[in-house]
Amino acid sequence: MTGAAPKKVVITGIAGRLGRVVARALHHDPQFVLEGLDRREFVGRPKDVVHHQVDVRSKKARDVFRAGDVAALVHMGLMHDPRATAADVYSWNVAGTMKLLEYCQTYRVPKVVVLSSADVYGPRPDNPQFLSEDAPLLAAQRFPQMRDLVEIDHLASTFLWKAREIETVVLRPVHILGSVHNAPSNYLRLDPVPTLLGFDPMVQVIHERDVARAVSAALAPGVRGIYNVVGPGQVPLSVVLRELGRRTLPIPHPLAKPLWSLAFRAGVSSYPVAEFDFIRYICMVDGSRAAKDLGFAARSSLRETILAVDEPA
Amino acid sequence: MAVADWIRRRIADATRPRPDPVAERTRALAVRDNEYGFDAFGMGRDQVRTAVRVAGWLYRHYFRAEAKGLEHVPATGRVLIVSNHSGQLPYDGMVLSAACMLDAAQPRLLRSMVEHFVPTVPFASYLMARWGQIIGTPENCRRLLEDDEAILVFPEGARGISKPFSKRYQLAPFGLGFMRLALATNTPIVPVAVIGAEEQAPAVNLRMVAKLLGTPSFPVVPYPPFVGVVPLPVKYRLHFGEPMVFTGDPDEDDEAITEKVTAVKRRIESLIHVGLRERKHVFW
């Protein structure tokens, strides 16, 4: 690609921790110039990255695309705040995503990468060990708080078929571990870690830097589709906790729900009760399609990935 | 002096490292485990060893099982072990697994399928996975067979395990799923007859209670605790038959598949007849 003009990549949610990890990875690549789109301030912004500190639903966000020179959108600016009101989260996540996809179609952005999550399949006792990309997204069935994320995934998957001229890629990574402040990493940073007595599901984890690599692989020309993104493998939850040297607090599951919702309402815990199912049942995916089509394989080992939650950012 | 000598010899004898066949056999298992010792389905080699010790004791000392035709279980490669099912609790599965672990020339880990509710039960939820069991979905089976593993199938399912004493050694209707899997993955089927399990918990079916509770059956045994938790110390006899290979379209209609399933059922029936003719007594 020497000689070609660098391609402009707009990243939403760039100011978040995962956003910064992805931005750092893409920043190293000379074929891209980055632009951030986030209503938060971009701390530690490299000089040559333009940052638009605006709401994605605003007119100013449209102006970012209006020039028509955006080569790709990486959409990862989703709000996961469990304490925000449902209306706020819905408007930000779903309406925001709809707007962005609309801009992409109007201003002919040839590539759209949406970072969804493998959580959208939902943890269920009768899940097959490895879910393929065609499995139904059932997370919202037992877990209404997940409805937005499932809907965004649906929006993006529909967009993949609706806007045939655009290469849309939907990535569904497994639990992302690292300096990020997402639910799985925060959970593993608790001490003692509450677990459910008598339950120890297999979990899949991926290092945040491997997620950045997957995003970068998805930006390659010609790639479109829905991909599960898996890390170096799967282990029982108890092994993850042992590797991190955490004490555990096993709670009998009939007591767990009332105790946990009490803790949530008291502000002690920030995990919605329904997320318990993620430490009770499996929700694992098959990443072979991404391995075949994107040539993606995680580089961090299982141990490195697990220990990444304790690394300073 | 002689006494002191004798004591010393006894102590030396008791503390001498003994050969541990279970540990050796577990080590010899060909499984795909990762750096932490777990395979993709959550099977852990260390936990399997513990399970094999328990199953091995039942196999050797409680049920004093005899296995015939174990040479028909291939040393490597995918295989479906198809057996009759009975006895209220799946001790037949434990004994079959112990036979393939302890007495086959090359130890094989039989992976059996558990009901979908098991992952909701505390402890059973993960112990079943650690011991190599899988949740009974076709996707899971296909994946394991493609990885050249051995799967234990009871096509009678719940109908078989809860059958009353009066129906012993009469096979309940077979499910068809295992045959479709065998055809799709080109897997040989090894039929097995388990003799003994059908008498381990002689139950009668209380149809009225079952109707009241809305369960398919309500078996009770005529001795405390009246449910078939503790099996009678029957003698197990396992008769493994020659592998059967089927070819055809896995998506054929039920009729065509039933024909092939019936062939397997007939084989198991004839193995049962041979087994019943050969045995002298239920308990020894």
Q: Is the peptide bond before A258 cis (omega within 30 degrees of 0)?
A: no
Question: Among partner residues A199, A233, A253, which is closest to B126 by beta-carbon distance?
Answer: A199
Give pLDDT tens digits for A75-123: 998 877 777 777 888 888 899 999 999 999 999 999 999 999 999 999 9
Of the candidates B101, B88, B107, B86, which has an alpha carbon nearest to the alpha carbon of residue B51?
B101
**B228 found inside a domain:** no
Nearest to B143 among A129, A233, A236 (CB): A129
Q: Using CA atoms, how far apart are residues A250 and B118, in angstroms rounded to an integer?
A: 19
Integer angstrom CA distances of residue A151 from A174, A276, B104:
18, 21, 52
Judging by DSSP bridges, how do beta strands A7-12 and B66-68 pair with one another? unpaired
Half-sphere exposure of B204 (CA within 13 A, CB side): 5
A9 touches chain B (CB under 8 A): no
In a domain, B40, yes or no: yes
Total number of domains in chain B: 1
Q: What is the pLDDT along chain B (284 residues), one digit of tens a residue?
A: 788 999 998 888 888 877 788 888 888 887 788 888 899 999 998 899 999 999 999 999 999 999 999 999 999 999 999 999 988 888 999 999 999 999 999 999 999 988 888 898 899 899 999 999 999 899 999 999 999 999 999 999 888 888 888 889 999 999 999 999 999 999 999 999 999 999 998 888 888 888 888 877 788 888 878 877 889 999 999 999 999 999 999 998 999 999 999 999 999 999 999 999 998 888 88
Q: Give the minimum alpha-carbon distance from A227 to chain B in angstroms, rounded to a whole number.
A: 19
Interface of chain B against chain A, CB under 8 Å? Answer: 34-36, 38, 40-42, 44, 116-126, 129-130, 134-135, 137, 139-140, 143
Between B26 and A26, name the one with better pLDDT: A26
Q: Give the closest of B35, B124, B139 to A128, CB-based.
A: B139
- Any domain includes B163: yes
Domain residue limits, chain A: 7-310
Question: What three-state secondary structure class fits B120?
Answer: helix
Which band of pLDDT confidence, cut at 50, 70 and 90, is reported for residue A134? Answer: very high
CB A193 within 8 A of CB A187: yes
In this structure, which topology does domain A7-310 adopt according to CATH?
Rossmann fold (3.40.50)
Q: Kindly state the average pLDDT of the residues A118-129.
A: 92
- Would the pLDDT of A3 be above 70? no
* A301 CB within 8 Å of a chain B CB: yes
Cβ atoms of B126 and A199 closer than 8 Å: yes
> What percent of chain A has pLDDT above 90?
66
CB atoms within 10 A of CB A162: 12
CA A202 distance to own-chain centroid: 20
CA nearest to A281 within chain B: B119
Residues near A81 by Cβ (< 8 Å), separated by ≥ 6?
A89
CATH number of the domain that residue B122 is part of:
3.40.1130.10
Which two tokens mark B283? 């308990």
Tell me the residue range of the domain where B49 lies: 35-204+234-278
Other beta carbons within 10 Å of B33: 13
Average pLDDT over residues A160-167: 93
- Does B135 sit within 8 Å of A301, measured CB to CB? no
What is residue A52's DSSP assignment?
Answer: E
Q: Which residue bears the tokens 């920043």? A: A27
CB distance A126–B139 less than 8 Å?
A: no
